[in-house]
């Protein structure tokens, strides 16, 4: 940071931190992105962080690019995540289980509020 880099490359920056410490670090990185226009490249296996803090996803597997997209599109396609062998975020795992149980959940729903509204509508219909 002393040399005021335009790009920050962060390799597993929250590894070993407790949840609060990880949140504080990620908030700091996103503030640097927003307020100082820094590009932040985050190397991580934590899909919860990717979903919450990132704009774009590039998935590497043994050095080869396997997938690249904006975050919303990436998480709308859980098969991409599973086929690559990545553990999806908890909300996506829940969505996948609900679909397996017969709920009709549109691909574009990737947040808790949207998922809850969708489930409520379907439960109400069947009452």
CA distance 23 to 114: 23
For position 126, what pLDDT does the model report?
A: 66
CA distance 40 to 26: 10
Average pLDDT over residues 65-71: 94
- Report the predicted TM-score, pTM, of the whole model to 2 decimal places: 0.81
| Tens-digit pLDDT profile for residues 17-49 | 999 999 999 999 999 999 999 999 999 999 999
CA distance 17 to 114: 30
CA distance 36 to 90: 31
State what percent of residues in the chain have pLDDT above 70.
98
Residues 6+ apart with CB under 8 A from 21: 14
Q: How confident is the model at residue 127 (pLDDT cuts 50, 70, 90)?
A: low
Q: How confident is the model at residue 81 (pLDDT cuts 50, 70, 90)?
A: confident
For position 57, what pLDDT does the model report?
A: 95
E-state strands within the chain = 7-11, 39-43, 56-61, 64-70
């Amino acid at each position: 940071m002393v040399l005021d880099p335009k790009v920050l490359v962060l390799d597993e920056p929250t590894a070993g931190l407790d949840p609060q410490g990880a949140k504080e670090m990620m908030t700091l990185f996103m503030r640097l992105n927003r307020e100082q226009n820094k590009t932040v490249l985050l190397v991580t296996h934590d899909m919860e962080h990717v979903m919450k803090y990132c704009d774009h996803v590039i998935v590497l597997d043994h050095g080869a690019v396997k997938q690249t997209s904006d975050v919303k599109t990436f998480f709308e396609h859980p098969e991409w995540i599973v086929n690559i062998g990545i553990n999806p975020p908890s909300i996506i795992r829940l969505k996948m289980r609900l679909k397996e149980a017969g709920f009709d959940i549109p691909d574009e729903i990737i947040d808790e509020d949207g998922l809850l509204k969708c489930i409520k509508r379907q439960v109400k219909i069947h009452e």
